[in-house]
Structure 1
Amino acid sequence: MSQSRLQGVIAASITPVTPDHQIDVPRLAAHIGQLLAKGCSHVSTFGTTGEGASFATGQKVAALQALKAMGVDMGRQVPAIMTPVLDDAVRSLVAYRELGCRAVLVLPPFYYGATEAGIAGFYDALIERTSGASDIDLLLYNIPQLSRVKFTKSLVETILSRHGSRIVGIKDSTGDIENGLMLVESFRNLAIFTGDDRVLPTLVSKGGAGMIGGMPNVFASDLKALYDNPGNREILDKQAKRIVAVDNHGSLVALKAALAHYGGDEDLARALPPLQALDAKQRASLIALFEDTGFRAAA
């Protein structure tokens, strides 16, 4: 691709939700603007943190169209495709390319627990059916704890052997530092991202591209500083404690609760069913843990 290499801190944005379970586009646009202003290189909407598997394809496409109409820079958007439905994946990829998005993060089809040959076949079909959108970069999304599919070295090699010109990177959300380093060492031409703050410094020091994760929703400035200075042990220790706190309080709903608290906007705490917003006691526990790390306001 002629575009510059993807790298840096890419925020996997939360998705604000209206009371009638729609995407709150104005709040999403404002949040994206804040993330970019705080140092994120790009924003990834509708991934795991963005409840991407819970929204319909039409909702997500319409939201991105509205964001573009509002002046959001689509060249800094890396939306996710999270669906086991091939037709929906095709529709999404074509739409995101037409909108001018920088790249697309593609989750493998979940539910069936398919073989590696079947997973490779899904990417074959997606790429063959979107030949008119061949000028948008694709990243593989490795999150086996939710997708039930692991991008092993052999699976990545198979996909690259068929579609190497389309695949530019991998997001490794296993949290396994050795797996991340294996991907960096094995695929030097790919941009390897971690989804885990604790892996970020080592991955970057070994040639990794950065992170695509949910924690920048609240801690973008600190994570940009950690990316720029991987040896900063103070920030790493704080982020390690913060990510444990988030994981122990419901992950993405914890991030939403923190944004609602620090931003003074309770609508940001709302999640799409079946997820539920933290109650007052849970939120107080989360905020207390953040403040124990010295965090007082959105950084």
Structure 2
Amino acid sequence: MFCAALTPFNADLSPDHALFAAHCKRLLDDGCTGIAMLGTTGEANSLSSRERMDLLEAVLKSGVAPSQLLPGTGVASFMETVELTKHALAQGVQTVVMLPPFYYKGVSDDGIVAAYSEIIERIDDPRLRVVLYHIPQMSSVPLSLDVIARLREKFPQTVVGIKDSSGDFANMSAIVERFPGFSVLVGADPLMLSLLPKGGAGCITATSNLVASDLATVFAGYADEARQPQVAAAQERIVAARNTVSRFAQMASLKTLLAKRYGHDSWTRQRPPLTPLTAEEAATVNASFDAS
């Protein structure tokens, strides 16, 4: 159970390292297995490579273990992806979440397999573990079952899982059924409970920034008959939180709620072109969350 962690920004829009590290520790205390930092929710594609590296190093220096981090390293340039992934490995972080190169659209499965192959072969490190990232609504580069099969066959010890943020439960189920032992991590909080009994591995989700303890309850107790009342109550809170932050822009809503939780303005800031909620939207979100 990994949190797709939000990134706080200082007034000059540089990442707030201290605040981010403190948030990571809070999430771990709340029951997260680890932190999936520098992903979509973390606004990673608005950060430079150097900023990504510095933020990763800052979290590690704060005392978070390398095994508890799952950084996103996939960018449009596959050579830059190599650089970011090698940096993570040099810090002791062995598992990364990797988008396919995403600028060119309508590319073939052959092209996607070739890109991942170039990246993995150029890194050439047996420690590396890659979680593929399927988020077609953002990347416009979907990862088909055939792509997964070919990469699994070519790199069975390296390509170990996928984060499916498509929202398509049928697709997640199909991956689980076709690839036993392959870690399928849902990207939408409410769907974890349904996928776990089918063989899903867990989640990497945004709303866990707020309801990590509830997701931990679901993850730990979904198969325990005696804990079903707790699981059902936790799931209800997860769905309510997800609905609240989906009413307006999701990341801005999550940041608004974290700013209230922590009492720190750094959480409300986003890098353009993303923008914070209006005062009216923020009031609505806060009231809705408090009432849930």
Q: TM-score, normalised by structure 2?
A: 0.94
Percent identical residues: 30
Partner of 2:54: 62
Q: Deviations over 1:165-224 (max 9, x none)?
A: 211111111112111111111111211100112211111111111100111111111111
What residue number does 1:180 align with? 172
Q: Any runs of at least 4 consecutive aligned residues in structure 1 with deviations exceeding 6 A, and if so which?
A: none
Structure 2: gaps (5+ residues):
223-227
Query: Which residue, out of 137, 141, 153, partners 2:129?
Result: 137
Is residue 285 of structure 2 the alignment partner of residue 292 of structure 1? no
Aligned to 2:158: 166
**Partner residue of 1:123?**
116
Matched, 1:198 2:165: no
Deviations 1:128-180 (CA, angstroms, capped at 9, x unpaired): 1100x330211000101101122221111111121122111111111121111
**Offset at residue 69 of structure 1 (A):** 2.5
Aligned counterparts of 2:218 and 2:74: Cα–Cα separation in 1: 29
2:37 maps to which residue?
Answer: 45
Which residue matches 2:277?
A: 278
Q: What's the RMSD between the two structures over aligned residues?
A: 1.3
1:251 aligns with 2:250: yes
One of 28, 34, 58 as aligned partner of 2:26: 34
In the aligned structure 1, how far is the partner of 2:214 from the partner of 2:61? Answer: 31
Please tell me whether residue 239 in structure 1 is matched to residue 238 in structure 2.
yes
Contact kept, 8 Å, 1:53 with 1:82, in 2: the verdict is no
8 Å Cα contact 1:47/1:82 also seen in 2: no
Q: For residue 200 of structure 1, give the secondary structure of its aligned residue in structure 2.
A: helix
Name the SS of the counterpart of 1:79 in structure 2: coil
In structure 2, distance between residues paired with 1:153 and 1:291: 41
SS of residue in 2 equivalent to 1:198: helix
* Aligned residues of 2:75 and 2:99 also touching (Cα < 8 A): yes
Q: What's the secondary structure of 1:96's corresponding residue?
A: helix
For residues 250 and 94 of structure 2, the distance between their equivalents in structure 1, rounded to whole angstroms, comes to 27
Q: Displacement, 1:27? A: 0.7
Distance 1:42 1:241 in 2: 23
Q: Give the stretch that moved more between structures: 147-156 or 67-76.
A: 67-76
1:259 deviates by 0.3
TM-superposed CA distance for 1:102, in Å, is 4.1
Q: Aligned equivalents of 1:181 and 1:137: distance in 2?
A: 22
The 3-state SS of whatever aligns with 1:138 is strand
Consecutive unaligned residues of structure 1, counting only runs of 5 or more, are 1-8, 294-299
Q: Which amino acid aligns with 2:111?
A: G
Once residues 267 and 42 of structure 2 are traced to their aligned partners in structure 1, the CA distance between those partners, rounded to angstroms, is 12
**CA displacement 1:25-77 (0-9 Å, x = unmatched):** 11111010000011000101100000011101111012212222332212210
- Name the TM-score, length of structure 1 as normaliser: 0.92
How far apart are the structure 2 equivalents of 1:175 and 1:270?
27
CA contact (8 A) 2:94 2:127 kept: no
Q: Report how far residue 233 of structure 1 moved.
A: 2.5
Q: 2: distance between equivalents of 1:261 and 1:63?
A: 23
Instruction: Give the Å deviation of 1:13.
Output: 0.5
Which amino acid in the other structure matches residue 192 of structure 2? Answer: L
Secondary structure of the corresponding residue to residue 81 of structure 1:
coil
Distance in 1, matches of 2:108 and 2:245, equals 33
Secondary structure at the residue paired with 2:13? coil
Q: In 1, distance between residues paired with 2:19 and 2:249?
A: 22
